[in-house]
């Protein structure tokens, strides 16, 4: 009798797959509302394409880890770790740019052109430092996670809960802003769509905590009795 795949494993898989599809649909829409050079002060915070791209890659990494199956495929683990490492590296670059004040324009060239011919504000596609920190912590959590190691599972949970601190503060600020405007959410640097994306991703990644160990196929009846005597 073969053990069934836990339903909570499928939850993380579906969350990762849904986020991947939704973000892929959204990403091409960036050019329609990118801040233009004629705007003196671009709307901030807003959902930047680099933030969405980070969520896309992390969602794909989550989907690979949570893929249903009887045996955990090491190839999927390697691919998931590689994708998470890419997000970690880009987030670290954005944080270093914010700290040093030196930026590389070429990183945004793919997102800056507009079909109307108007040029978008330079660096408009960059994530805020808060968004970069959140993406970096999610990436570290997925890199650290292993289902067969209790201490690594606890460590990854710490990173996930830490990654959700800034989205939680921004969400609280948005909520307060509904009753006592203006809100301080802009100072936190996360837009409401980014908060929703990060919390959805966080719920999917935390779902891995409840993944049960896949039981080995149980042998019973005459076959088990035969093997006992052989």
Number of domains in the chain: 1
Q: Give the span between the Cα atoms of 204 and 17, in whole angstroms.
A: 10
123 inside domain: yes
Instruction: Give the total residue count for the chain.
Output: 230
Domain range for 191 is 7-229
Per-residue pLDDT of the chain (230 residues; tens, 9 = 90+): 444 444 444 788 999 999 999 999 888 777 666 655 444 444 446 788 899 999 999 999 999 988 876 456 788 889 999 999 999 999 999 999 888 877 776 677 677 655 444 555 666 778 889 999 999 999 999 999 987 778 888 899 999 999 999 999 988 887 877 776 655 555 577 888 899 999 999 999 998 887 644 434 444 444 444 444 44
In the prediction, which pLDDT does 134 show? 96
pTM recorded for the entire structure: 0.79
In the prediction, which pLDDT does 158 show? 93
CA gyration radius for the chain?
21
Q: How far is CA 38 from CA 34, 113, 116, 122, 147, in A?
A: 12, 15, 14, 11, 51
What burial letters (b/e) apply to 92-122, b meaning 16+ CB within 10 Å? eebbebbeeeebeeebbeebbeeeeeeebbe
2 inside domain: no
1 inside domain: no
100 inside domain: yes
Q: Give the span between the Cα atoms of 168 and 178, in whole angstroms.
A: 16
159 inside domain: yes
- Which residues, at least 6 apart from 197, have a Cβ–Cβ distance to it below 8 Å? 19, 23, 47, 51, 52, 55
130 inside domain: yes
């Amino acid at each position: 009798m073969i053990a069934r795949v836990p339903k909570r494993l499928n939850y993380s898989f579906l969350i990762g797959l849904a986020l991947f599809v939704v973000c892929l649909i959204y990403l091409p829409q960036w050019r329609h509302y990118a801040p233009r050079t004629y705007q003196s002060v671009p709307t901030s915070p807003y959902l930047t394409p680099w933030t969405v791209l980070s969520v896309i890659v992390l969602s794909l990494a989550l989907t690979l880890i949570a893929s249903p199956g009887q045996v955990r495929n090491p190839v999927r683990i390697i691919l998931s770790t590689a994708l998470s490492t890419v997000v970690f590296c880009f987030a670290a670059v954005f944080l270093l740019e914010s700290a040093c004040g030196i930026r590389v324009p070429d990183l945004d060239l793919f997102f800056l052109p507009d079909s109307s011919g108007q040029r978008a504000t330079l660096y408009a596609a960059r994530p805020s430092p808060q968004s970069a920190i959140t993406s970096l912590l999610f990436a570290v959590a997925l890199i650290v996670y292993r289902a067969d190691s209790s201490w690594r599972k606890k460590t990854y949970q710490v990173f996930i809960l830490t990654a959700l601190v800034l989205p939680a503060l921004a969400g609280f600020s948005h909520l307060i802003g509904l009753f006592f405007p203006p809100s301080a959410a802009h100072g936190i640097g996360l837009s409401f769509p980014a908060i929703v994306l990060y919390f959805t991703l966080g719920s999917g990644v935390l779902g891995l905590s409840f993944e049960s160990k896949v039981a080995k196929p149980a042998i019973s009846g005459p076959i088990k009795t035969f093997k006992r005597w052989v």
